[in-house]
Structure 1
């Protein structure tokens, strides 16, 4: 199958009203809600608030479309998905601008990287396939293992990477023969509504449905008997509610949740060239990502010098409006998270911790701006060390003993990711093997790939995304046995 796309015909009107995608149709709602620009506090647009009836229509449309979609081969479904990547590419610049406007991240850096990565992901996932595996073939017996679609998948996406994480779910879900109903975060629904609108020009009706609205929609999805799986990215607290609600019909679930990711610099590490990398790892997207470095442990023999150098570098960075090309770090996306950070900053100041940079939030500004903040060697039981801040604040903590720092790194309910840095690669790998996390980077960080599984341990999640394992998450394992 060859799905032809003329890029000139794939451009959509980004200035028009925002609409949902239900059963191949673009529909509005009598009820709307306001979406804000976090850099200005101004209203960007009104998004449709889907009703319970519209959610039911979307799920019914996905259910009706699924058998015919599943009947296609991987290559046939992949052709549709590749065409979708072409259509997204044709609208890329508008998507990037919209992402910055509703999410806040700098357009010239993080927003462009996110959209480029998302389109690349869609295009590459389209080339994958799950093939049947023959595990026994004797003179009188054959055993074959297949992976069959689950049916209708409900996807609930977050506000920190709404484009990338939305398309991370769509591409493998559709490739494996499922259909989808997606609910974007009410803080950042606009880009998702637009890429849903683009999808209606490519996919058969009902294959991909986008319904925007409030948090109550998540419960409608998790409780619905016609949804076979929930793929959720968000906080651990909400993930627990998703898991409990999904038990009504034993839905399959993939939960990508929070983290309190440590980075460990081993003794005698040449840290100077690493400072820009570690800065980006902690403060990229204003610290609003689950895999951000949130605790940085440096051996006491180097900690003071490291903090001095790190603060000097961080002081050169600018917090501002993401549409300004001089901005390095954008605003906090929403007032809920902004207020959580206000509380954390107040606690850090009230406890008298050594704040080497930042620390004071200027609440007179129109946007949700939070300064780049470095806390020098706070106690291990402090909030800034124990909590996931999801903002631009980093504790840099001294340690003396490697075994002790491994214990401290693991002393958390989270287990999403970690990094270890050191001059002796073998030693760093051995330390990394002792870290309780789903992903551990050694002398690098934030490397992802289409074929690299990603998921959390402990209360950082359940299941994985990406890789063969990520594709299999959207399927049932089915065993065929044949007597010859």
Structure 2
């Protein structure tokens, strides 16, 4: 039987392994979820009670899940703990959310109409490797709250922690309400194209998102896609550079920069470049790189060799083209894993691949500008639109600038501040549909009209 092997990205040691789901195994998981749907959908109060218990169980198992997450994904301990806690909050929020399940339609003589909000059925949740616990929770919790059942497929390299998480949740939920399958693209295709799948929720790269859309089109299955984002941070001329740089260091290098909504390029006024670079380098230089399980480590490795090679190639190409490394550029540790220390690069522009592509790693290019209007025009002409941030002391002006940017989330004087109470998602090639907030639950509901003609 084929197996998926998880390895620690810092030490390259094996963490664990799980068997790849067979075609029949995928079918059985979907069939169990489909069989459970009929009773699960009927009692909203019952679902809410169980989701509250799910939140509690995740909280009580936080240490176990966080330690596995550190070992398998590579992030540092504090980030792993935070990911489990916000996942528990996602279930608590879904349990407490309120929405109208039925509203009256327009009146007509001899007829009564009601507009109902009903679940889809079985949802396929396809989850990436960068935040496997939270992104699983962000799909499962609202889908279950809305009355759907779920089959989740985690990325091949984070099977252990998602398996543990699902096991915790299954100890609370009725049989079949939540299922899990493991494997690569073929398992994903079998799941997405299954005739009993009524909705697909996917988080990952734009390239894979396009493939998921094509697969779902075979059965005309609706999809929610949260895809890539080459997110800009725009620093205004009146910004407090010390505070701005410190905040951007934390945002850019969180999870080693492997976050779809992390700042991946910074636009700084031409006259303030030196000040920004000095402040940023001072903060970034204090980050300790190493094994996330070791106390005091500030940033772990990239998750896999392919991701490291891609980021390294963008950095090397930029340097060959005349870019200057302000800080970083090395490995930062003697450990054998996939390391690259926090790196800031200057003397680049929008034509450089390091700026134009989503690097998804701990390298941040800084681009200078003289015209704010030109920066916004450039950003809005590009394909991505997931997140962005604007930094300045004049909050009114900074907010006005933020409102001009095409993105699903735009922050002022903060970045990647994702909250379970607020909707999250992208525009343009960054996807469509929303997770989080009440909008995230409504994304797992569809309208049905029930019209009754009365006897005359």
| Structure 1 length-normalised TM | 0.90
Q: In the TM superposition, what is the alpha-carbon distance from 1:235 to its structure 2 partner?
A: 0.3
Task: State the shift of 1:190 in Å.
Answer: 0.7
Quote the Cα distance in structure 2 between the aligned partners of 1:357 and 1:273: 18
Residues 127-176 of structure 1: CA deviation (Å, up to 9, x unaligned) = 11331353556584655322111011011000000000001111111111
Q: For 1:336 and 1:363, how far apart are their aligned partners in 2?
A: 19
In 1, the alpha carbon distance for the partners of 2:453 and 2:320 equals 73
Residue in structure 2 matched with residue 119 of structure 1 by the alignment = 88
Determine the structure 1 residue equivalent to 2:201: 231
What do residues 77-96 of structure 1 show as CA deviations (whole Å, max 9, x unaligned)?
A: 01111111222222111111
CA-CA distance at 1:362 after TM superposition: 7.6
Inter-CA distance 137–411: structure 2 relative to 1 (3 Å threshold): closer
User: Matched residues in 2 for 1:420 and 1:32: separation?
Assistant: 46
Select the residue among 31, 36, 48 that pairs with 1:65. 36
2:129 match: 159
CA contact (8 A) 1:183 1:210 kept: yes
Q: Which among 17, 22, 25 is matched to residue 54 of structure 1?
A: 25
Who is 2:391 aligned against?
421
Kindly provide the CA deviation profile for residues 7-30 of structure 1, in whole angstroms up to 9, marking residues without a partner as x: xxxxxxxxxxxxxxxxxxxxxxx3
1:396, CA displacement in angstroms?
1.1
Q: How does 1:418-457 map to 2 (within 5 A)?
A: 418-457=388-427
Contact 2:228-2:358 within 8 A present in 1 as well? yes
Deviations 1:81-136 (A, max 9, x none): 111122222211111100000001001x2111111111111122111133135355
Superposed, 1:289-300 pairs within 5 Å as 289-300=259-270
1:95 aligns with 2:43: no
Give the Cα–Cα distance (whole angstroms) in 1 for the partners of residues 296 and 278 of structure 2: 24
Aligned length: 453
User: What secondary structure is seen at the aligned counterpart in 2 of 1:302?
Assistant: helix
The two structures, once aligned, show a CA RMSD in angstroms of 1.7
Instruction: Give the structure 2 partner of residue 352 of structure 1.
Output: 322
What's the counterpart of residue 369 of structure 2? 399
Gaps of 5+ in 1: 1-29
**Deviation digits for residues 241-286 of structure 1 (CA, Å, limit 9, x no counterpart):** 0001100111010000000000111112122122221111111100
Q: 1:32-56: per-residue Cα shift (whole Å, max 9, x none)?
A: 2211000001111112211111111
Deviations 1:338-395 (A, max 9, x none): 1212211221222121111122458974111111111013122001100101000001
CA distance in structure 1 between the aligned counterparts of 2:198 and 2:33, rounded to whole angstroms: 11
Distance 2:126 2:16 in 1: 21
Correspondence for 1:110: 79
Separation in 2, partners of 1:53, 1:243:
23
| Normalised TM-score (structure 2) | 0.95
Structure 2 runs not aligned, ≥5 long: none
In the alignment, is residue 322 of structure 1 matched against residue 311 of structure 2?
Answer: no
Give the alignment partner of residue 477 of structure 1, picking from 431, 447, 450. 447
What is the aligned partner in structure 1 of residue 5 from structure 2? Answer: 34
Q: CA contact under 8 A between 2:93 and 2:421: conserved in structure 1?
A: no
Instruction: Provide the rounded CA distance (Å) in 2 between the counterparts of 1:453 and 1:120.
Output: 14
